[in-house]
Amino acid sequence: MLLALGALLAADLAAKRVYSYRDENGILHFTDKPPDTDQPVESRLAKADPKKWIEALEEGPADDKRYLLVNQMAGPAEVEMYFVDALNVLSAPELPARVVVPGLTSTPILKVIPEDPTRSWRFNFRFRWMLGDPNAKPNPNARYRLPFRRGEQHPLMQGFGGRFSHTDEQAYFAIDIAMDEGTPVLAARSGTVMLVEDDFFGAGTDIAQWGDRANHVRILHNDGTMAVYAHLALETIAVKVGDKVRAGQQIALSGNTGYSTGPHLHFVVQRNTGMRLTSVPFRFVEHPEMEMIEGTVLGLPLKSEELDTAKP
């Protein structure tokens, strides 16, 4: 994603539920949270401002420009900076450059000054960012439990390398599990909630319109990998950015939002491989030898002594 000084692309189908009611004096009130009132309440969906997970802030005098990067995710981001126009300038670091910005921080990333203060100078820089730390090393012994309640069974609609949408490196090792809307979705592995997108409604198969509009939770594991739980139902996500979650904890309800042919859960584990997201193969403790092939039914009984083997 190419960003100019923190300008993020707007998601025009983001929404919030707005509540309205009249108090005992007949005054009309509006709120984005369910009101604590005995009066009749109406609610509707309304467009919301898009979330800005990464922003650049400018500070300092005209001849000593400094930039901070604000990361509102509870996990690191890799940032690449470069000049698109520069005359008579020095920068620290020298551009182009890449830096890793920790989660939930405001981090100094760039200083720009004139090389010769007696001459005119100008510059214009851009940055793009990618989720995760490219220096993270995935744990090959990490285990994952099924992301739904024990005793349930769900068909695997699309497995590793699925021809419909699991063809690129971000999604090759993803799976799509058929789930009725409203099915509890559980964390497959413990970690920290890195980001949450929960304002989207509607679904379709036009990737240009729906490709980035699935409600989802991204959980950061302690080895730097990140699990994504996508197509969740609007306003059902039960965790927030920064929460610590354990394997088996309910995080949301399944839905049918974004680029989707029907209700299902999209689950994938990813890592940053240098300004690129790459999916990582995994196995569930319930099916340790199973290849993730379309048509499989997930959810066979699990022995009690294996239940807690989903390591962080």
Domain residue extents for the chain: 1-131, 154-306
* Residues 6 or more apart whose Cβ sits within 8 Å of residue 268: 170, 171, 173, 174, 175, 227, 228, 230, 279
How is residue 4 written in tokens? 């100019």
Rounded to an integer, what distance in angstroms lies between the CA atom of residue 151 and that of residue 131? 34
pLDDT over 50 (residue 79): yes
pLDDT recorded at residue 210: 43
pLDDT recorded at residue 4: 30
pLDDT over 80 (residue 115): yes
Q: Is 132 helix (H, G, I), strand (E, B) or coil?
A: coil
pLDDT recorded at residue 12: 35
pTM comes to: 0.80
Please report the DSSP string for 132-165 in residue order.
S-TT----TT--B--SS-TT--EEEEE-TT-TTT
pLDDT over 90 (residue 268): yes
pLDDT recorded at residue 251: 96
At 248, the pLDDT band (50, 70, 90 cuts) reads: very high
User: Cα-atom radius of gyration of the chain, to the nearest Å?
Assistant: 22
pLDDT recorded at residue 13: 40
How is residue 107 written in tokens? 């981090």
pLDDT recorded at residue 27: 78
Higher pLDDT, 273 or 14: 273
- Of 34-38, 92-96, 149-153, 252-256, highest mean pLDDT: 92-96
Q: How far is CA 36 from CA 19, 52, 239, 245, in A?
A: 11, 30, 22, 29
The CATH architecture to which 1-131 belongs is Sandwich (2.60)
At 127, the pLDDT band (50, 70, 90 cuts) reads: very high
Lowest-confidence region among 86-90, 144-148, 199-203, 240-244? 199-203
Determine the residue type at 240. K
Rounded to an integer, what distance in angstroms lies between the CA atom of residue 243 and that of residue 219? 9
pLDDT recorded at residue 157: 86
Higher pLDDT, 108 or 18: 108
Determine the residue type at 268. V
pLDDT over 70 (residue 75): yes
Share of the chain above pLDDT 90, in %: 51
For residue 190, give the nearest of 221, 147, 223 by alpha carbon: 221
For residue 278, give the nearest of 219, 226, 230, 222 by alpha carbon: 226
pLDDT over 50 (residue 22): yes
How is residue 218 written in tokens? 């991204």
Please report the DSSP string for 50-112 in residue order.
PP-SEEEEEES-TTSEEEEEEE-SSS-EEEEEEEEEEESEEEESPSSEEEEE-TTEEEEEEEE
Higher pLDDT, 113 or 286: 113
The CATH class that applies to domain 154-306 reads: mainly beta
pLDDT over 90 (residue 295): no
For residue 243, give the nearest of 117, 147, 111, 104 by alpha carbon: 104
Residue pair 243/193 in contact by the 8 Å Cβ criterion: yes
pLDDT recorded at residue 229: 97
Query: Span 78-99, mean pLDDT?
Result: 96
Determine the residue type at 296. T
